[in-house]
Amino acid sequence: MYPKNPLSARMFPLSLRDLLITISILLCAAGVCILLRAADTSDGFASPIFVLAVLLTSRLTTGYLFGLIASVLGVICVNFIFTYPYWAFNLTISGYPLTFLSFLAVSVITSTLTTKIKRQEQLRAENEKEKMRANLLRSVSHDIRTPLTSIVGSTSTVLENPGLSRGEQETLLEDVRSEAQWLIQTVENLLSITRMGDGQAHITKDVEAAEEILGEAVRKFRRRYPEMSVAAEPPKELLLVPMDPILIEQVLANLMENAALHGETATRILISARPDGDFARFTVADNGRGIDPAVLPTLFDGTLKHSESAKGDGKRNMGLGLSVCMAIVRAHGGTMEAKNLPAGAEFSFRLPLLKEGSSR
């Protein structure tokens, strides 16, 4: 059975887009040469211009095909149109065949090297994607297995020990509910990644009021963590932000949950939104123990190990939630950062605002 994408199809793909790019670049190169020849009688400018055209073609198209085509056409244009004798091949002129072959070799080598470099960049990106996927799977497998074990143990204790007091049963069932709620949050994170797709994210943005997003996020958080003091500081004026409201609420929920679970000494959380140039800045700050400076560089890439997260709560690894936050914010064209405050930590992300006169 033949593979769906044979090597020849990957190395020499046919594409209308690539054909149009190749034609456009070669026409531009020819046009520049015509203008230069009208201003100067020398012929030396044509070769470097068409080598540059071959380089651009190889860089902007896929595979080797159009780079090689540009090489051959570039050689023909230089030697047939822009080198004496014009509009003719005269191989009897001294040095002409060597010039022809040298330029062809330079063009082909340039095209091949450029295509190989681009291919290596693609392979490197694919390897990074696989690495991130592997880290995500390792994180999820550990995070899900631990609370499931706790749920099974607690329910087994209640079912197998009918003599437990009501208070003991309530304590065990409360643990079950807490673990189940955390599992729901983990599943929501995974669904958020699925919604954004694999590789390139495709999200649907609606113009939403930042104040409403803050209020909804706080309302849901208070329902899960009633003991934690949380307040929202809305913008002073109406702030409309293009976003997927469900995904941005997920980001705020993850950041507030991290403050509650990993802040250790945190007793208060403040979330806010305000305009920041052409962006809207959302901030989640707490008064907890802060972030270990050693983990700040890898905080959002999903590689944070359990041993690096808050002590005493190994199952609630904050790496997954933060990597999801970063993926969502990047899908919106925004940026994200974290820093320590004099007392506590602050996570913030920026989303681009709708430019005046542009459609949604």
70-127 pLDDT, tens per residue? Answer: 878 887 887 778 777 777 766 665 556 666 677 667 767 777 777 788 788 888 878 8
pLDDT at 322 over 80: yes
Residue appearing with tokens 């993850």: 254
- Over range 127-131, report the average pLDDT: 75
Q: How far is CA 133 from CA 120, 196, 298, 307, in A?
A: 20, 14, 16, 20
pLDDT at 207 over 80: yes
Beta strand pairing call for 206-209 and 240-243: antiparallel
Count of beta carbons in the 10 Å neighbourhood of residue 142:
15
Residue 338 has what pLDDT? 92
Mean pLDDT of the chain: 79
Percentage of residues in the chain having pLDDT higher than 70 = 77
pLDDT at 137 over 60: yes
Ranking 74-78, 189-193, 231-235 by mean pLDDT, the lowest is 189-193
Domain parsing of the chain, residue ranges: 7-126, 199-352
pLDDT at 162 over 90: no
When pLDDT is cut at 50, 70 and 90, the band that residue 343 belongs to is confident
pLDDT at 189 over 90: no
DSSP state of 298: G
Residue 238 has what pLDDT? 92
Q: Which one of 3.10.20.30, 3.30.565.10, 3.10.580.10, 3.40.640.10 gives the CATH number of domain 199-352?
A: 3.30.565.10
DSSP state of 355: P
